Structure 1
Amino acid sequence: MADFSSIIKFLSEREYKLVTAESCTAGMVTSLLATTPGCGAVLEIGYVVYSEKAKHYCLGVDLQTMDAFGLTSEEVAQEMALGALDRSGADFAIAVTGKAESNDELGGVICFAYALRMYHITKVFTQTKKFNGDRETVMRSAAEYAIVNIPNAHNQLLAQFLLCR
């Protein structure tokens, strides 16, 4: 099992509260973080929103966004992250959506969004990656990637804040 203590430390040192919004990883990001000592200092809440209806009602993802771009899209991931931030006391969000398993070209394609709220301003960084393997392997790989990518996403988000100056 991977050790995420450095990620917990990273978030804790910045005094961030984390919210997760997960679809295809079905809560695995939150679960993996929860196995790490010290997670209670940073983990605020985790949403598991599998269906379009859940994404809309729980996180406020616009139905038109899902219709226009599909569930496997950075646009949906972005709205999931923003909705999770808006509905929680957190200031850092991770959202994950995609297809862990399918027979088409979207099989293994996972979209990530990271959002950071600072000084009443929110910035979002999105990314899409393709993972190979069976359903469980893709889910685990995507969840682990979502976590270990936090420092990189944080740097991307800070750069956006600096551009606002």
Structure 2
Amino acid sequence: MTEATDLIVRATESGVTIATAESCTGGLIAAALTDVPGSSAVVDRGFVTYSNAAKMQMLGVREDTLKSHGAVSEEVAREMAEGALNRSGTALAVSVTGIAGPGGSEFKPEGRVCFGLAVKGGATQTETVEFGARGRAEVRRAACDRALNLLRSALP
């Protein structure tokens, strides 16, 4: 059983609904979830907010947060996850924002990805993972896998 299949089965059994808010993964998380038959019972929606304008308009990320911390930050990941949760009315929302590559900088290197996990009625968790300069496709795949694991970890 794949990670996504296990997640969908467990979410269905628990009656938990899910939303995603994605930047660097460009919809890969939502695609992985909706590849599973029966996912329509739990997957409500996915926000692909690649630009800062989309993050603000669709998820309510504050402009001052983007200016102060940059798009690739736990602060923005938190606001993305909370925005997805609030705008969808789901029980869980995961967010991803990062630098898949190529590129990056000394301060925000290629492979840095920030995650947010918002849970209805609970505290939002954030984390940063340094996947390293593995190449764009591999960073995106690894970020998708990590997001699926975060969602699974939040299920009863």
Q: Distance in 1 between matches of 2:73 and 2:43?
A: 25
Aligned-pair CA distance for 1:17: 0.9
User: What fraction of aligned residue pairs are identical, expressed as a percent?
Assistant: 38
1:47 and 2:42 aligned: no
1:83–1:20: structure 2 CA closer, same or farther, 3 Å change rule? same
Give the secondary-structure state (helix, strand or coil) at the position aligned to 1:123: coil
Structure 1 residue ranges (4+ consecutive) displaced by more than 3 angstroms after TM superposition: none
1:129–1:54: structure 2 CA closer, same or farther, 3 Å change rule? same
Give the secondary-structure state (helix, strand or coil) at the position aligned to 2:88: coil
Q: Is the 8 A contact 1:18 1:90 kept in 2?
A: yes
Partner of residue 113, structure 1: 116
Aligned-pair CA distance for 1:52: 0.7
Aligned-pair CA distance for 1:122: 4.1
- Aligned residue pairs total 152
Q: Is the 8 A contact 2:19 2:84 kept in 1?
A: yes
Partner of residue 27, structure 1: 27
Name the TM-score, length of structure 1 as normaliser. 0.86
Partner of residue 78, structure 1: 78
**Mapping of residues 4-153 of structure 1, within 5 Å:** 4-101=4-101, 102-105=103-106, 106-117=109-120, 121-132=121-132, 133-152=134-153
Q: Could you say what the CA RMSD is over the residues aligned between the two structures, in angstroms?
A: 1.8
